[in-house]
Structure formats: C-alpha cells, structure tokens
Structure 1
Amino acid sequence: MPNTPPDPTPTQLSPFLSQDDWLAIWLGAIVLAASLAAVALWGNDVQAYVAKPGAWRELPVTALVPSEQFVGSPLMGSLVVGTVLCVLFAVAQRARGERSTDFVPSFVVVYLLALVSFTLAGHEVVKAYNLEYALWALMVGLIISNTIGTPKFLRPAVLTEFYIKTGLVLLGSEVLMSRLVALGLPGIGVAWVVTPIVLITTYWFGQRVLRMPSRTLNMVIAADMSVCGVSAAIATAAACRAKKEELSLAISLSLTFTVVMMAVMPMVIKAIGLDPYVGGAWLGGTIDSTGAVAAAGATLGDEALEVAATVKMIQNILIGVTAFCVAVYWTTRVDVSRKGERVGAGEIWRRFPKFVLGFLAASIVFSVLHAMVPGGAELTEAMIKNATKTFRSWLFCLAFVCIGLETNFRQLLPQLKGGKPLALYLCGQFLNLCLTLLMAWLMFGVFFPPAGD
C-alpha cells in the first residue's frame, strides 16, 4: 500500500489575527471605516440600509415592514446588518481555527432571536416603561436555556464576549473628548472622583464585611455597579478571569436595578426639586446603562438629558482604566497570594483585555476627527447616528441573547446562597447614589453653577 501523507499542519496565525481581543479590534475597525465611508458617500440615506425593528402597537409585523415596502424597511436594514455581521464573524471564526460552516447556520438562529427581542422591546407599552431590548434578549435566552436547554447546534454562535468586545470598540467612537471638555471639571468631578471610591469601597466591603467567597464575583459586581454596567462588567471579568456564571449574575443584577432606577430616580428628582443640571449629573453617574440614562434624563428635559448623557460618556472612559487596574491588582496581589509566586509585567499584559485598546483608539481618532477636521463633527455624528450605533445595538443584543443561552438558574443558585451578591449590590449602589448626589450638588450647584443661575 502507498504511504498515506500525513495531515498538513494547521497554519499558526499571529495572535493579532486569531485572538478574540485583537479580532474584536479588527472587526470594529472594519465596521467603523465602512460606516464612515458610507456616510461620507450617501449621507443620511445609509439609515435605510442599516436598521433594527421599529415601534409597533397592534401587529409586530409593522415593526419590520411598516409601509408594506421591503426596500428601506427596518426588515431590510436588519437583514443587511445581519449579513454583514455574519460574514465578518464567520471569517473571524475561521481565523480562530473554528469551522465557519458550523457558525453560519447557528448565527442565523441566534440573530433571529435577537430580532425577536428587538421587536418585543418595540411595543408602545413596553417602550413607555423603558424596558429595553437588553432585558428581552436576556429573557429570550434564559427561557430557552432553562426549559429545553440550549441546543448543541447553537453553540458555535454563542460568542458572548466576542460580540460585546466588538461592540465596545464601536462604543469608543461615541465617547468624544469634546463632550468631556464641554462640561469640564464638574463633569469629571462627578464621573471620575466618585467612581473609583465606590469601586474600591464596594470590593473591600464584599471581602471584609460580607466575606464573599469569590473575589472575582465581588470585583465584577463592584465594577458593574460603579462604572457603567455591562460594558465594565465584561472588561473587568476578562481582567480578573471571572467565571461565566459570575458575569451572568452581575449583569442580571445590573439589568434588574437599571429598570427600577430609570423609573424611580426621575420621580425622586422632581419630588425634591433638584436643579436639572444636578439631577442629570446624578442620573448619569449612577444608572448603569447609557440608554437608560438617556431615557431617564429625557423625562426631566433637554438640559438634564444633555448633562446625564455627557456624564455617562465621561464615566465610560473609565472602562479601560478600570480593566487595566484590575489586571494589575489581580496579577500582582490576588494571584500572588494564591500561588505564592511573583508575577511579572508580561503576565499583566497577557491578562489585560486588549480590546480596550480598540475602544480607546476609536475614542481618540473620532474625537480628533470631530474636533479638528473641517466638517468632521457633522460626519462623525451622522456616522454614529445612522450606522455604528445600530451595529453596536445589534452586537449587544446578540450578546444578551447569548448570556441567556449560557445561563442556567441551577448553576446560579450556589452564587446566590446567603444573599451576599444582592446585599453587595444594594449596599454599593446606596453608597453610589449618596456620593454621586453629593458630588453633583457640589460641582453643579456650588462650585460651577450653570451660567445664568
């Protein structure tokens, strides 16, 4: 018999082309560049081809094809986004050494689940209560995983962190330094002074007072609640290598209380008669979700909305700083105490979530474009509004569906034993609310009152 040649050795790709963090940066850069070029060529017409389901009242189909015309409808725009993401992530999966033929059919199903989630969130009653797509996406995934179980064929497309990381790179383009300059010291005071105090205090409280057995769960909840919700939780979980179940629990707590705070805080602000600037800063510094901050701020008026959204954007800059600091602390203090060995700078770099570099790079590039290039402000804002924000929303929705698909309540129950995670979140958020209100009053009410007050 002739000798059978051995199987060819698979090509070893550079980490820059095969690891999630770097691939997320490349995918985000491709979407940003393509969106910028499309908006530069076609202007606002791009939104007809990049969309998500709209609002509806009686029939869900009107959220997809409201005018009975496919061209330019939300359904067409959703299919375009889905096709682009499917192609990009199929190529990325191939680069990671996975089979793209397994990924594509499973992605189609996960994307349809995200489409259902967006449609449910579009009902006028649901929108009135500000129950955003993230909650519905999580519920859709949870129902499947806790009843029939997540089918095996869906596993290739359940890429929670990959979707979130890519979405966070896109989010970087929305964090413009000009907004930081617009509010200056008062905005920085609210966003950058309170946040690290609450983060460190909450972690200390969990370890020393509650004596939580899992340090990683303690840290992820502290970052989720003090920085900016899901985005910070993902970055911090990557930095300290938290378990998926711990990340799911932290995000579930965040989403639940975000809905409550979004509804209750504006009523409290109106009841006690806070100035719109103070009230907006309080919202922006405490509510976890950027979308929920905007929704809550809008109920108080344009001034409160602008301040709330800007403070939240300034706070979002801390995602990268927090991830880096957690990576350094975990590798030099926590892992050293467990293993009894010293950890060098190389391990810190290996542990650091590299996609944060993409977030920061996008923020810098588009801040420069927005502030220094003639016509750059209009182009950047049109790109965000008509293209990249929609892509980011789809990526986050896909991630929330996947979180639900990966989460089983039976696995979460041990984490909830004794109620310590809930107690940690409640105590940390109470401290966050008090300190942020105090700082918002000092910054916008005492030291830097708005002109004309």
Structure 2
Amino acid sequence: MRETAPPPSKKLNLNTEDWWAVWLGFGIISLILLSLFPAPTLPSRWGNDGSFNIISSIPINNIPGVILTGGIALLIFWVAIRFLKTEIKRNFLVAFPVLFGLSILAYVLGQYGPWRHYGFNDVIWALVIGLFISNVLKTPTFLKSALHTELYIKTGLVLLGASILFDRMLALGMLGIGVAWMVTPIVIIVMYLFSQRVLKMNDQKELAVTISSATAVCGVSAAIASGTAAKAKKEEITLAISITLIFTILMMIGMPALVRLFGLDPVVGGAWLGGTIDATGAVVAAGSLLGENAMEVASVIKMVQNILIGFVAVGIALFFVSRANSHQQGSEKKQIKGKEIWDRMPKFILGFIGASLIFSFLIPQQTVETVLPTIDQYRGLFFTLAFVSIGLESNFKELAKGVRGGKPIVLYIVGQLFNIILTLLAAWIFFSGKFFSLPF
C-alpha cells in the first residue's frame, strides 16, 4: 500500500528541497548579476581542427579553475544539505568530489567533436558512466550520500528559467505555440486515459501521469515536476526518468535520419524534433544535424514547451487533489482545499517562472546577454551532476521489478508514437509554409 502522507503543517515550511532549489538558484543568479560569482571552468571542445589530443580539453593551466568550480559546487549544495538533513553526513564532503570528477569525465567525453556531432554530449555520457558503475561495478555505498538528483536538477531548472525569455518564445509567434501547446495537453490526457482504461494501471496512477508528462513535455524536468505534484514515489519518478532517457537517446539519433530518409523539409523536421524529443540538449543536438534554421525552430519550440512545466504541475496537483477527494464517504463529500493544491505544487516551479519573468522584463537586454552564458554553464553542470546521479541510482534489475508486466514501457511507447504522429501533423501545418507564412 502507498504510504499516507502526513497532514500538512499550518506553517509554511521553507526548509524543503524545492525551496532550497529556489534559494540556491536565485542566490547564484544574484551573485552573477553582481559580478561576485566566477564563471565555471569546464572542459572545452577537442577533436576538431586537427586537435585530437584529449589533454587539450583541460589544459594544465585550467586545472585550478576546474578544482575551484568543484569547490564552489560543493559549497553550494553543502549549504542546502546541511539545513535539509538533521544529521549531516561527512560522507557528502568526500563523495561529492568523486561525483564531480565523474561529471568532468562526462564533459571531456562529451566535448569530443566527432562524437558530439552525433549527439553524444556530456549529458549522455554522464548517464552512461553512471549506469555502467551502477550495473557493472556497483555504486559504492559512500557515494550514495552525494546522489541528490532532484536537488541538482531542480536548482538547474530555476537557472533554466533565466534563459527562457518571453520575447524568444514569441519570436516564432503562434507557429511555435501551435506545435508546443496544442499537442502537449492532448498527449498527456490520452496517455493517462490509455493507462487507466486499457492498461488498467489503476494502482499506478502517479507513475502513469509522471510517464505521460515526461513524454509530452520535456522528459526529466517534467517527470520530476509532475511526479512531485502527483506525490509519486521516488522509485516511480526514477523509473519514468530512466525510460525517458533510454528512448531519448534512440530518438535523438534516429529522428534526424528519418527526416532525411523521407525527404521532409528541414524546418518541419526541426519543429517535429522540438515537440517530441524529451531533453532540451538532445533537441539542440538533433536539430543541428538538419541545419541552422531547423535547430533554431527545434530549440524555440522546446523552450516554449518547457514553459508548460509549471502549468502542467499545477494542473496535475489540482487533478490529484480533486480525484482523491471526490469519492463519497457515506453521504459526505470532502471539500477540496486550496492548501492541499499548494502543498502538492512543486515550489521550485515558482523560481523557474520568477527567473523567466525577471530576465524577460526587468533586466536590461545587454545585462542578460552578458550574464546568461555563465548562468547556462552552471545550469549545464548541475544537470550533468544530476544525470550521473540518475545513472548511479538506476539499477536495471531493480527497475525491472517496477515494470509490472511491462505496462510502463507499453505506456511510453504507445504514447510516444501517438505524440510523434500528432506532432508531425502539427509541424507540417504550422511550418510547411502552406498555411502560414514562415518568419524567415
């Protein structure tokens, strides 16, 4: 049986993982705006322009900067862990540098030009490294104290809000919105209904809606946001993330090949990729294989789609509260309270939306252009830390136990096929030039 959640406290609890993601995110942004926070030193591109020496990824003179970057990341998250945990484990101070080292290794491999050209970036290698250690070597016990996946990615999502500017969202007008916002809710609803009425996942409602949101919106970020809103178990969120990541790799490589095979217009193909591939980085990598215009369209559509994370999370919270309280108990019917919806809503989404609004309307454009690269670099680092952690926590034998009769896999495959077909239709309608004038 699913554990019953404790009754919500009357006081607003600001010492939670979600709120700490907001505090950390806005703290980093504020320090960068005040020029008090150094840009991270990370491995650079190698394997291009005749430079095939892996050492060129991290020159000797950059090693102190890489170490400083690791120390800054350690300090950032140690502050949160210190307050979140009643007993701070010293293992975190030992384990995090190892996690950071694995992330740097993922960066080095992901920066190899020929591999990166085909989409094998640092995020993919982070997952591969983590999965290899977890499933072949076994994750060391001491390292588990540093695997705070959700804290890393939630903080990264708050930083992501700064780069999703409303003027960029409107750059493609109603065309991008038509693909990103019309298809997404349809896919979520259809997938959830399919899970309940066809697959009979009646005792896995939280898992079903998490997979549905991850498929329709943006993979890992949506899985964490929607899973948190639905009060899904940590194991269910991890399972949804793992399924999404595996298929993201396949789609990132296979879909550009299909665009070429069927002779689709690259711009239509870019819109198709942006609306279906689940990770922003994977979308950019796949779109770049089709040309600059395709990459721009794919990126903007994915960012427009990312904005739905907050609305989807709130919608799921409202749905689950109303569903949970809509059953009759005798002749009485419980009344839905706004407090219950608030308790379910992921608070880090407020930071995500707040950062987007601030950078869109309050900060001068010149300042945005100056600080955004540094913010994006930290966001990328936090995402890489999260993906290594996901791999280290994902054991295929354990995951197999959660896939009861293969229903979660079936749900994802059927839902993604529906998503691919519907998005392709929307991409053709809005970006083929037959019905609407293209902005370029």
Structure 2 length as normaliser, TM-score?
0.88
Whether the 8 Å contact between 1:258 and 1:288 is mirrored in structure 2 is yes
CA gap of 1:98–1:60, structure 2 versus 1, over 3 A, is: farther
Deviation for aligned residue 1:90: 1.4
Name the % identity: 44
Q: Which moved more, 1:270-279 or 1:388-397?
A: 270-279
1:93-242 map, 5 Å: 93-96=81-84, 97-99=86-88, 101-147=90-136, 149-212=138-201, 213-242=203-232
CA gap 1:142/1:269 in 2 versus in 1, 3 angstroms = closer
Gaps in structure 2 of 5+ consecutive residues:
1-10
Matched, 1:303 2:293: yes
SS at match of 1:447: coil
Q: Return the structure number with greater helix share.
A: 1
Q: 2:410 aligns with which of 406, 413, 423?
A: 423
State the Cα distance separating 1:342 from its structure 2 match. Answer: 4.9
Q: How does 1:18-417 map to 2 (within 5 A)?
A: 18-38=15-35, 49-57=39-47, 60-65=54-59, 68=60, 70=61, 73=62, 75-96=63-84, 97-99=86-88, 101-147=90-136, 149-212=138-201, 213-334=203-324, 337=327, 342-369=335-362, 376-385=364-373, 387-417=374-404
Inter-partner Cα distance in structure 2 for 1:104 and 1:335: 44
The letter for the 2-side match of 1:91 is: V
Q: Which amino acid aligns with 1:443?
A: F
2:5 corresponding residue in structure 1: none
Equivalent pair of 2:172/2:439 in contact (CA under 8 Å): no
Once the two structures are TM-superposed, the CA of residue 349 in structure 1 deviates from its matched residue by 0.7
Instruction: Write the deviation string for residues 393-427 of structure 1: whole angstroms up to 9, x where unpaired.
Output: 11111112222222232321122242222211111
Q: Is the 8 A contact 1:277 1:444 kept in 2?
A: yes
Q: 1:141 to 1:336 in 2, by over 3 A?
A: farther
> Partner residue of 1:8?
none
Q: Which amino acid aligns with 1:15?
A: N
Residue 440 of structure 1, CA deviation: 1.6
Number of matched pairs: 420
Supply the distance in 1 between the matched residues of 2:368 and 2:153 (Cα, whole angstroms): 22
For structure 1, which segment, 320-329 or 293-302, has the greater mean C-alpha deviation from structure 2 after superposition? Answer: 293-302
Where 2:232 maps in the other structure, the secondary structure is coil
CA 1:278 to 1:351, structure 2 compared with 1: closer, same or farther past 3 Å? same
- Relative to the length of structure 1, the TM-score reads 0.86
Q: For residues 302 and 402 of structure 1, what CA distance do their matches in structure 2 show?
A: 33
> What letter matches 2:405 in structure 1?
G
Q: Give the AA of the match of 2:97.
A: V
**Contact 1:91 1:100 (C-alpha < 8 Å) held by counterparts:** no
1:141 and 1:265, CA in 2 relative to 1: closer, same or farther beyond 3 A? closer
2:218/2:305 contact within 8 Å kept? yes
Report if aligned partners of 1:90, 1:100 keep a CA contact under 8 Å in 2: no
Unpaired runs of 5+ in structure 1? 1-12
Contact 1:173 1:363 (C-alpha < 8 Å) held by counterparts: yes
Q: AA paired with 1:268?
A: L
Q: Residues 32, 282 of structure 1: CA spacing in aligned structure 2 closer, same or farther, 3 A cutoff?
A: same
- Quote how far apart the aligned CAs of 1:208 are: 0.9
Look up the SS of the partner of 2:42 in the other structure. Answer: coil
For the structure 1 residues 335 and 244, does the alpha-carbon distance in structure 2 shift closer, same or farther, using more than 3 Å as the test?
Answer: farther
Aligned-pair distance for 1:317? 0.2
Local SS of the residue matching 1:224? helix
**Deviation of residue 144 (structure 1)?**
3.0
CA contact (8 A) 2:284 2:299 kept: yes
Task: Tell me the SS of whatever aligns to 2:163.
Answer: coil
Give, in whole Å, the separation in 2 of the partners of 1:413 and 1:269: 33
Counterpart code for 2:160:
L
CA RMSD of aligned residues (A): 2.4
Residue identity in the other structure for 1:289:
A
**1:10: which partner in 2?**
none
Hey, what's the Cα distance between the residues in 2 that align with 1:175 and 1:353?
Answer: 19
- Looking at structure 1, the residues matched to 390 and 336 of structure 2 have their Cα atoms a distance apart, in angstroms, of 32
Secondary structure of the residue aligned to 1:288 is coil
SS at match of 1:217: helix
Query: CA 1:410/1:314 → structure 2, altered by over 3 Å: closer, same or farther?
Result: same
| Preserved contact between residue 118 and residue 285 of structure 2 (Cα < 8 Å) | no
* SS in structure 2 at match of 1:228: coil
Alpha-carbon distance in structure 2 between the residues aligned to 1:412 and 1:302: 38
Q: Give yes or no for contact 1:284–1:311 (8 Å, CA) kept in 2.
A: yes
Q: Compute the displacement of 1:335 (Å).
A: 6.2
CA contact (8 A) 1:245 1:411 kept: no
Deviation at 1:328, TM superposition (A): 1.0
> Is 1:15 matched up with 2:13?
yes
Equivalent residue for 2:7? none
- Secondary structure, in 3 states, of the residue corresponding to 1:448? coil
Aligned residue type for 1:34: L
